[in-house]
Structure 1
Amino acid sequence: MTLPFVKMHAHGDDFIIIDRRGEDNPITAQIARHLGNRRTGIGFNQLAVVLDCEEAAARVQFWNPDGTRLQTCGSATRGVADRLMHEAGTQSIVLGSDRGLLTCTRADGQRVSVDMGPPSLDWASVPLARAMDTCVLPIDGQPAACSMGNPHCTFFVEDVTALDIEAMGPSLEVHPLFPARTNVHFVQVLDRGHIRLRIWERGGGVPLGSGSCCCAAVVNGIRRGLLDERVEVQCDGGAVTVQWDGRGGVILTGRVEPIMQGTAYLY
């Protein structure tokens, strides 16, 4: 079997898009793991499969490189939106996802915005293992938790460059408080409108960036009273902007750029 694909990135957060509109969807956990291998496959932080959808322009299904599913991906959603808006000649588009309908719009330059929907803040929807205040968890460092369709845990630190993320991330991802595992972020607040962010991604390791992690980090910073409603997030791979009014959807805006296109071979 052959699968045409496009590879893109958003502030270093790389993903591949496989368009299966009008065709069957062959992607399984095994195939996702094969494609995600950076030595024997294509390599990606996320895989986005574009499918037919009656309620929206298309439905997007997301996979991690370890073969697990996730409900949403801010970077890949914006990449799919960029391509479909070019295809349709429009400045906005609605995409379906496991999290619901996501409205995407063209911003200036090569930037695309997506309304990621409101964060889930109660313990059961993160999910956590038991009832507690998600703004301050009973873990060393007192992180905050929320869900953007996938679970997130945010630590606020003095200096993110002083941390060994690869050593700290794996055990935090599988902490007993997170029955579905969790993304982990480490945030250094530069001022009320700027943060520096480093990430351990559930099922993926240390990425250069992550759209949903940027959203969750800002949401938790606003909940703690540390940040304003509009924040520039500096990741290892570049910057994005996140806006949240404390009530509605979280708006993620940043550049998406194509890298390559090709054909994957499955035996």
Structure 2
Amino acid sequence: MTLVFTKMHGIGNDFVVVDCRDAPLALGTEAIRRLGDRHLGVGFDQLLTIEPARDPDCAYAYGIWNTDGTRSGQCGNGARCVAAWLARAGLLGEGLVRLESPSGPVGVEILAGGHVRVDMGEPRFAPPALPLDVAHEEDRYTIDVVGRPLEIGAVSMGNPHAVIEVDEIATAPVGVLGPQVEHAAAFPRGCNVGFAQRVARDAIMLRVWERGVGETLACGSGACAAVAVLHRRGLVDDEVRVTLPGGSLDIRWPGAGHPLWMTGPAAFVFEGTWHE
């Protein structure tokens, strides 16, 4: 079989985007893994599909698959790329447009200079939303990670996130601690793991170990999660610039009762055809 695709990225978080408006994705888990292999396939952090919306209030829907073939509930950088793809195809109206993500509707708006603004919804801290296996909701949790206690924050942005504050982002043990927290017993479905260094009240640095992928150059929902956790603790302001290895995102969240907004770029890389 052949698969026509568009390669895109959001500050280095890279995607294969497939037009599935006329027919569903015809790839199984193993084929998705082969496509995602950076040596033997095309390579991506996530595979995104453009689909007809099932929600009548949404213009289109999108699906998300990780490199290991598992499905994801949300992807902030991916949402921007889906919006940019639809806009380039002349399929996205002006102003705020609702798209149907695997975890529910999100609002997207095309801005000048290749940037896209996304309404990521209100962060959900209740443990069942992640899910997180703890007795009750707290601002800080101490969980067991390979026999050692670790303090984390936890929030759902449509997908589960653990957030760890670090003093120095460059030396954070992302490659070791990331997979350990991802598979910790407290997270029965796994989680994304963000390592956040506060630089100022309006600036943080972040590295993210993504569930089912590994460390990526950027993670949009991870940036949102880090700001949400730190804002709830009173450590950052309503508007924060998050700098990741691949670039920066602007996050705005006034707090409980309000949606969280993410703004950043979406870039086209190339068009291609994959031969399975």
Q: How far apart are 1:141 and its partner, in Å?
A: 4.3
CA distance in 2, matches of 1:149, 1:89: 23
Residue 101 of structure 2 corresponds to residue 91 of structure 1: no
Per-residue CA deviation, residues 14-68 of structure 1 (Å, 9 max, x unaligned), is 1110011122331332222121111111111111111112522211010000011
3-state SS in 2 of match to 1:217: helix
- 2:37 maps to which residue? 37
* Greater mean alpha carbon deviation, residues 90-99 or residues 41-50: 90-99
- Of 51, 62, 66, 1:64 maps to 66
CA distance in 1, matches of 2:203, 2:27: 38
- Of 232, 244, 249, 2:253 maps to 244
Per-residue CA deviation, residues 70-97 of structure 1 (Å, 9 max, x unaligned), is 1111111110101212323633432111
- Of 106, 110, 127, 2:114 maps to 110
3-state SS in 2 of match to 1:143: strand
> In 2, are the aligned partners of 1:244 and 1:250 still within 8 Å (CA)?
yes
- 1:176 maps to which residue? 185
Q: How far apart are 1:102 and its partner, in Å?
A: 1.1
How do 1:1-267 residues align onto structure 2 when only pairs under 5 Å count? 1-54=1-54, 55=56, 56-86=58-88, 87-88=90-91, 90-92=93-95, 93-139=97-143, 140-246=149-255, 247-266=257-276
For residues 88 and 50 of structure 1, do their structure 2 counterparts lie closer, same or farther at Cα, with a shift above 3 Å needed?
Answer: closer
1:12 alignment partner AA: G
- How many residues are treated as equivalent by the alignment? 266
Give structure 2 stretches of 5+ with no counterpart: 144-148
2:94 alignment partner AA: Q
For residues 264 and 117 of structure 1, do their structure 2 counterparts lie closer, same or farther at Cα, with a shift above 3 Å needed?
Answer: same
For residues 162 and 261 of structure 1, do their structure 2 counterparts lie closer, same or farther at Cα, with a shift above 3 Å needed?
Answer: same
2:103 alignment partner AA: R
> In 2, are the aligned partners of 1:134 and 1:146 still within 8 Å (CA)?
no
CA distance in 1, matches of 2:239, 2:14: 24
CA distance in 1, matches of 2:33, 2:82: 21
Q: How far apart are 1:263 and its partner, in Å?
A: 0.6
> In 2, are the aligned partners of 1:126 and 1:151 still within 8 Å (CA)?
yes
1:99 alignment partner AA: S
> In 1, are the aligned partners of 2:153 and 2:229 still within 8 Å (CA)?
yes
CA distance in 1, matches of 2:12, 2:24: 30
> In 1, are the aligned partners of 2:166 and 2:172 still within 8 Å (CA)?
no
1:223 alignment partner AA: R
> In 2, are the aligned partners of 1:124 and 1:131 still within 8 Å (CA)?
no
CA distance in 2, matches of 1:261, 1:227: 40
Give structure 1 stretches of 5+ with no counterpart: none
